[in-house]
Structures are given as structure tokens and as C-alpha cells.
Amino acid sequence: MSPAVKYTLARLVLFLAVFAALWFVPNLSLLLKLMIAILVSAAASWFLLRNLRDDVTAQVESAVDRRKAEKDRLRAALAGETEPAEDAPAAVEEVHKTQA
């Protein structure tokens, strides 16, 4: 399961747990219970879900690095600095041929 999905589910479970605890508090409106549950679960998730949040950050960073490397490779291929790879899209090869 993706770290982002795990983190999202953990945040949802934390919110539902706080909301369920507030459900039994009398004399509070539903809207006030929801707002308190959102604030308390957000603050609690900052401390309780740090490892999951770090996993999501690492996943996003690796995706950004992969995309940046691919972008740099394609720019170099389009500039004629290197030959396009065999798996490069046909459009990149066509642009490379027209520039030569």
C-alpha cells in the first residue's frame, strides 16, 4: 500500500476516534464537535503520524527526482548533446532529426 494512502487512512481513523469520543459529550452541537475533532486530530497527527508523514515525503522526493532526471535527459536529447534512448518517444526523435 502506498505511504500516502496509509497516511490518509491514519488521519481519517484519528479524526473518527476523536469524533467518536466527542459524540458522548452532551450539550455540544454537531458542528462544534466536528470542528473540535478536526483541530484535535490535526494536532495529534503532527506528533503521532510523523513516521508515516516522513514516508510520504520520501516517496514524493523520489518521484520529483525521477521526473527531473527524465526532464534533463530529454532536454539533453533535444539539444543534441546526447543521442535519444531507444525507449524515448517518437516525437523526441523526430524533433532531434529536424534540428540536425
* pLDDT digit string, tens, across residues 44-93: 999 999 999 999 999 999 999 999 999 999 999 898 877 555 555 555 55
The set of cell numbers assigned to 10 is 491514519
Asked if residue 36 and residue 4 are part of one domain, the reply reads yes
Tally of structural domains, the chain: 2
Q: Tens digits of per-residue pLDDT, 19-37?
A: 999 999 999 999 999 999 9
Asked if residue 41 and residue 6 are part of one domain, the reply reads yes
pTM (2 decimals)?
0.67
Residue 88 CA to residue 86 CA, distance in Å, equals 6
Asked if residue 34 and residue 63 are part of one domain, the reply reads no
Range of the domain at 36: 1-48
Asked if residue 66 and residue 39 are part of one domain, the reply reads no
Among 9, 36, 14, 13, which residue's Cα sits nearest to residue 25? Answer: 36
Asked if residue 75 and residue 43 are part of one domain, the reply reads no
Asked if residue 64 and residue 39 are part of one domain, the reply reads no
Asked if residue 22 and residue 62 are part of one domain, the reply reads no
Asked if residue 97 and residue 62 are part of one domain, the reply reads yes
